[in-house]
Amino acid sequence: MDKTKELIILSEKQKRAILIIKELLKEMNKDIKELMDFEKLKVGAEKVEAKAIRISKIAIALQKSLDLDNGGNVATNLDHLYKHIRFAVARVMDHNDYSYLTSAEKVTAEINKGWEKISSAA
């Protein structure tokens, strides 16, 4: 199948959804990096909590976008990764524990790479 036929298969709604997910992932990765910096900068609790809540909300939105019935292992694995991200930011809010943010940032960076490829093909 040539590339032209592949593009026809995606509806405009699907293309928009891909771009929205790409943007959410980009923002989440940026926010996680900023939250990691907050520890070094000794940023106040209110600002830390606001950033952590924003990251959690993005992760929840991304989880809700998954098709766990038809998405196979990819959807299941993404669900686990988004749960890890939520766990990491909850640790920051509840216990001032920033130790899980490094892995959360790496996860979002890897997912971003994949979505970059998908969105450029859309």
Q: What is the spatial distance between Cα 43 and Cα 39, in angstroms, rounded to a whole number?
A: 7
Q: Could you tell me the CATH superfamily of domain 13-121?
A: Flagellar protein FliS (1.20.120.340)
Smallest CA-to-CA distance from 58 within 85, 91, 96 is with 85
pLDDT value at residue 97: 96
Q: What is the spatial distance between Cα 10 and Cα 121, in angstroms, rounded to a whole number?
A: 10
Q: What is the spatial distance between Cα 96 and Cα 116, in angstroms, rounded to a whole number?
A: 32
pTM (two decimals): 0.86
Domain residue limits, the chain: 13-121
pLDDT in tens, 50-92: 999 999 999 999 999 999 999 999 999 999 999 999 999 999 9
Beta strands in the chain (DSSP E): none
pLDDT value at residue 14: 84
pLDDT in tens, 19-57: 999 999 999 999 999 999 999 898 899 999 999 999 999
